[in-house]
Amino acid sequence: MATLARPLSSFPTDTAPHPLRDLSHGLAALPRGSICEIVGEASTGRTTLAHSMLATATLGGEVAVIVDCNDAFDPASAQKAGADLGKLLWVQCGHRLETALRATDMILHSGGFGLVLLDLCEVPAAALHRVPISYWHRFRNALEHTSSILLVLSRQPVARSCAARQFELQQQTIRWRGHAPFQTIHSLTAEASSRKPGGVSPVMLEARAEA
Amino acid sequence: MFACLFGNSPRLPELAREFSPLVESAAEAVVFSIAGLNRLIGSTHQIASEISRRGAEMGITANLAIASNPPAAVLAARNIAGVTIIPPGQEADTLAALPVEALRASAEVSLTLLRWGIHTLGELAALPEMGLVERLGEEGSRLRRLALGQGDALLAIRPPASEYTARREFDDPVELLEPLLFAASAQLQELTRKLDDDGQATNRITVNLMLDAGEFQRVIELPFPMRDARALLKQVQLSLEASPPPAAMTGIEIRLDPVEPRILQSGLFLPAAPEPEKLHLLLSRLKVLAGEDRVGSPEILNTHRPDAYRFRPCAFEPSLPKDTARPHPRLAIRYFRPPPMARVILHEGRPRRLLSERVSGGIVQTAGPWRTSGDWWTDTAWSRDEWDAVLEDRGVYRIYCAAKQWFLDGSYD
């Protein structure tokens, strides 16, 4: 006998089944209405990955924001990654962590943005440790039941239990083209692994330099 | 019933508004509704007499026609001198003697009618409608209905230009912004209610503060029309907080410039975008927090100068997703702004050690130098030798030497 009811598993979910597999392809790996983190040391591809996410969001017609704590954002790199700069709001915070957090709070409560990128890569670990956990709870509450994603870039995890996803990047290789002394950087590869329990295996990401 | 005034006087709309709020102004003709005036004034003849008397008092010379519909009233007023009252049902008889030129049809249709031997509206009205439609199309039917004095045109009512100004003087001078904003809130509530009633919005707020000595004025330009009192109050607050008045205030005057409201058609399948009112408020707050020149949409300048960009005003309209293939991830650079000075130790002309306040260490691999220069014909000329350097901790950095001084430009990430 036919039934009109469909099992819950047949309905599409808001996340891809294998987040890491889609990490390099943008927002499909990140659950909407949550905080996600990308952590890693310098030159591990954090910014490249974030620019890919910006490109996915803006080409999808969404408006994205970058809250740039240390004024490090390069719009030319983002444009080369495919981001539509006309759909991007850039807030330079002048190396002030408090300003970056307050700006993020205002943006999340204003609503309507598909991706909010909080860039804390250059913030010292000691300063990040002093950020009260209540900040992140407040951000998480503001994101609930919205279609926005707060993506935090930093050297180490900062949102702790408030983050729905945490990805750690580790540099693997730097490939060069040409022969010494006439060499240029060809690409940088990094391994991305999930720090939250999920049972997915790490994937390799490759960022090519400009030819 | 409708009345039409036809003449050259610029005061015709003023005369019409003395009798009705429902007034349509056109070239040399003003049409207005006189429905309900019979209770106040009396019969149609008495209404016409009252309009004529008031017009004479105002020094207006014009034709007046009263009919059951606007097109018939306009036709009569334009073509019959003096006062014309057309009782309901007698429109066709009253207009029958008028020439077909009174209909102001196109030259081609007028010529066709003349060739048919049709000279008056009465002759046109006597023609069969189907035959006219077959030969002249929809225009033929419209002209015949006009000739019959029939019509159901609605009045295109324009509200009179209003002043949206509220002024208040304080008993005692006010020094703090909070009580001032309390007064401004009430004024903005009143003004936006008036805008709402008139179907208008505003795109400019002018705040005049009366000081003990002199005046202080702030003009706030809004990027799009709005009439939300809370949003307007927030704009006033942010503006006054950014540059507060220099002395105690004895009064406040707020003026809103009326404009047509913004009309948006959203789509069910468009991605979400920030609401314009909220976005403008957010941008104002962010500029107060981060700095006036630190918020906006980036725009890359048309130059080879590294890190050349500027901010442009944000305007995010909802748009459909772009169906374009995304490029392969490109290695991004993170700039150190401003670039810190560095000390670089060279070995055989190539950097071997980097010392700076941000990063220090031995260099294990380099690429370069990449010599760039530009704008030599201006005061902002630049010339530098760039190197890509991999440090011992596997960090990849861009350093450059300009005017014999090394700088740390950024890191590849």
Amino acid letter at B75?
Answer: L
Q: What is the pLDDT of residues B207-231, one digit of tens each?
A: 999 988 888 999 998 878 888 899 8
How does residue A9 score in pLDDT terms, banded at 50, 70 and 90? very low
Q: Compute the mean pLDDT over every residue in chain B, rounded to the nearest whole number.
A: 89
pLDDT at residue A6 in the model: 46
| pLDDT given at position A93 | 95
Q: Do B329 and A49 touch (CB under 8 A)?
A: yes
3-state helix/strand/coil string of B115-135: HHCCCEHHHHHCCCHHHHHHH
- Contact status, residue A67 vs residue A88, Cβ threshold 8 Å: no
Contact list, A79 vs chain B (CB under 8 Å): 300
pLDDT score for A37: 93
**In angstroms, rounded to a whole number, what is the distance separating the alpha carbons of residues B160 and B240?**
32
More confident residue, B324 or B195: B195
Please count the other Cβ atoms lying within 10 Å of the Cβ belonging to residue B266: 8
**Number of other residues whose CB lies within 10 A of the CB of residue A175:** 12
> Which amino acid, one-letter code, is at A167?
F
Distances in Å between the Cα of B355 and the Cα atoms of A72, B339, B340, B360, B361 are: 20, 13, 10, 4, 7
Which residue's structure tokens are 């010494």? A180
CB contact under 8 A, A51 and B332: yes
pTM check: above 0.80: no
Return the DSSP state at B340. P
φ and ψ at residue B120, rounded to 5 degrees: -125, 165
Looking at the complex, report in whole angstroms how far the Cα of residue A174 sits from the nearest Cα belonging to chain B. 9
Q: How far apart are CA B191 and CA B31, in angstroms?
A: 29
More confident residue, B390 or B325: B390
**Residues of chain B contacting A51 with CB distance shorter than 8 Å:** 329-330, 332
pLDDT at residue number A27: 60
Nearest CA in chain A to B326: A82
Residues of chain B with C-beta less than 8 angstroms from the C-beta of A81: 326-327, 329-330, 332
**B281 and B226 Cβ atoms separated by less than 8 Å:** no
Q: Nearest CB to A74: which of B316, B321, B335?
A: B335
Task: Give the pLDDT confidence score for residue A72 in this predicted structure.
Answer: 95
B8 band by pLDDT with thresholds 50, 70 and 90: confident
Taking the C-alpha atoms of residue A19 and residue A94, their distance in angstroms, rounded to an integer, is: 33
DSSP 3-state of B199: coil
The shortest CB-CB distance from A99 to any of B290, B335, B412 is to B290
Paired with B17 in beta bridges are: none
CA A155 to chain centre: 13
The alpha carbon of residue B393 is apart from the nearest alpha carbon of chain A, in Å, by 9
- Say what percent of chain B tops pLDDT 70: 98
CB A39 within 8 A of CB A156: yes
**Cβ-based contacts of B332 with chain A (< 8 Å):** 47-48, 50-51, 74, 77-78, 81, 207
Distance CA B413, CA B399 (A): 15
CB B202 within 8 A of CB B195: yes
- Residue pair B391/B354 in contact (Cβ under 8 Å)? The answer is yes
Mean pLDDT of A151-172: 92
Largest Cα–Cα distance in chain B?
Answer: 109
* Inter-chain CB pairs, A–B, below 8 Å: 204
Our CA-based measurement puts residue B406 at a distance from the nearest CA of chain A, in whole angstroms, of 19
Per the structure block, which two tokens stand in for B250? 């004895």
Helix (H) or strand (E) holding B324, with range, is: none
CA dist., res. B221 & res. A135, Å (int):
34
* Per-residue buried b or exposed e for B184-194, using 16+ beta carbons within 10 Å of the residue's own CB: bbebbeebbeb
* Shortest distance, CA B233 to any CA of chain A (angstroms): 17
Residue type, B225: P
CA distance to partner chain B, nearest, from residue A200 (Å): 22
Looking at the complex, report in whole angstroms how far the Cα of residue B389 sits from the nearest Cα belonging to chain A: 10
Distance CA A55, CA A49 (A): 10
> What's the whole-number average pLDDT of chain A?
84
| Closest residue on chain B to A124 (Cα) | B358
Task: Please answer yes or no on whether A59 and B412 come within 8 Å at the CB atom.
Answer: no
Q: Which residue among A43, A86, A113 sits closest to B274, beta carbon to beta carbon?
A: A113
Q: Which of A23, A196, A36, A24 is nearest to A115 (CA)?
A: A36
What percentage of chain B exceeds 90 in pLDDT?
Answer: 44
Lowest mean pLDDT among A1-5, A124-128, B112-116: A1-5
pLDDT of B148-196, one tens digit each? 988 777 777 776 667 899 999 998 888 888 999 999 999 999 999 998 8
Question: Which of A130, A154, A132 lies closest to A36 in space, CA to CA?
Answer: A154
| Contact: B413, A61; criterion CB under 8 Å | no
Interface contact B321-A61, CB threshold 8 A: yes
Whether residue B413 and residue A81 make contact (CB cut-off 8 A), yes or no, is: no
Please determine, for residue B318, whether its predicted confidence score (pLDDT) is greater than 80: no
Question: Which chain A residues are closer than 8 Å to B304 by Cβ?
Answer: none
HEC profile of chain A: CCCCCCCHHHCCCCCCCCHHHHHHHCHHHCCCCEEEEEEECCCCCHHHHHHHHHHHHHHCCCCEEEEECCCCCCHHHHHHCCCCHHHEEEEECCCCHHHHHHHHHHHHHHCCCCEEEEECCCCCHHHHHCCCHHHHHHHHHHHCCCCCEEEEEECCCCCHHHEEEEEEEEEEEEEEEEECCEEEEEEEEEEEEECCCCCCCCEEEEEECCC
Judged by average pLDDT, the poorest of A33-47, A74-88, A169-183, B185-199 is: A169-183
The ipTM of this complex is 0.86
Find the CB nearest B394 among A82, A171, A206: A171
Q: Cβ contact (<8 Å) for A46 and B278?
A: no
Higher local confidence (pLDDT), A111 or B157: A111
Determine the Cα–Cα distance for residues B243 and A129; give it in Å rounded to an integer. 36
Picking from B273, B326, B335, the nearest residue to A112 by CB comes out as B273
SS3 content of chain B, % helix, strand, coil (to 5): 30, 35, 35
**Residue B412: its chain A contacts at CB < 8 A?**
43, 185, 188, 209
Q: B316, A77: Cβ pair inside 8 Å?
A: no
